[in-house]
Every structure is written in C-alpha cells, then in structure tokens.
Amino acid sequence: MDCRHLEDGYEIYLLGALDRGEHEELDQHIRQGCRSCTGELREAAENLYWFLQTVAPVQPSAAMKSRLLQRLTHNGVRRVGSRKLPATALSVARQSPPPQSRR
C-alpha cells in the first residue's frame, strides 16, 4: 500500500487539526489496518507526549479558546479527560504501550 503522502499528517491528525477530508482519509486508512502507518502514528503519539511534557502551558484568550473549541467540535473529536482526541487516535493510543521514560 503506497501511503507516503500521509506521512506529514500524523501529528496534525493526533491533534485533531487536519481538514475534514484529510482526517477522514487517514482515519479510514488506519482503520483498514496499515501496519506501517499505525506504527508511525504510535511514534508520533509518543513524540507529541514528550513534547507536551516539555513545553510550558499557555492560557489562551477567551476568544482563541472559543475558536479552538469550536473547531475541535466541528472536526469530530472526542473528549478524554480534559483533552480531546480523534477517535482513531484513541484506538491507537489504547493499543500502544506507555512511553518509556527518557531520563
């Protein structure tokens, strides 16, 4: 399966920021069981996890928060605790072992 055109979208997909068509294409592709992309998606999830552990939180303005939440809701993401993730990202995350400590 030639899926190289999807490579640049894994992190953006996990953040729920792909446009609807690209999101649906990658979502369907992962659901079809592409082992290569599933592995790459797991790696992207781990990279995002470590990145989010190292950046300082920023409080968005009320207007920015409203626009962001509206966009996330529009793109069909689901809430997990206090975070929202695409449904397939949740599936991949559930299948992945916890990240190893990088100390």
* Mean predicted lDDT score pLDDT of the chain: 75
**From start to end of 32-96, where are the E strands?**
78-80, 83-85
> In Å, how far from its chain's centre is CA 82?
15
Other C-beta atoms lying within 10 Å of the C-beta of residue 13: 26
Domain residue limits at 87: 4-95
**Is 101 domain-assigned?**
no
The angle subtended at Cα 28 by Cα 85 and Cα 25, nearest 5°, is 85
Structure letter (DSSP) for residue 96: S
Q: Which tokens in the block code for residue 50?
A: 């470590």
**Is 103 domain-assigned?**
no
Residue 61 clears pLDDT 70, i.e. is over it: yes
Band of the pLDDT at 43, cuts 50, 70, 90? very high
Over range 12-36, report the average pLDDT.
88
Q: Which residue has the tokens 């953040």?
A: 15
**Is 89 domain-assigned?**
yes
Q: What is the pLDDT of residue 51?
A: 87
**Is 11 domain-assigned?**
yes
**Is 100 domain-assigned?**
no
Total structural domains in the chain? 1
**Is 85 domain-assigned?**
yes
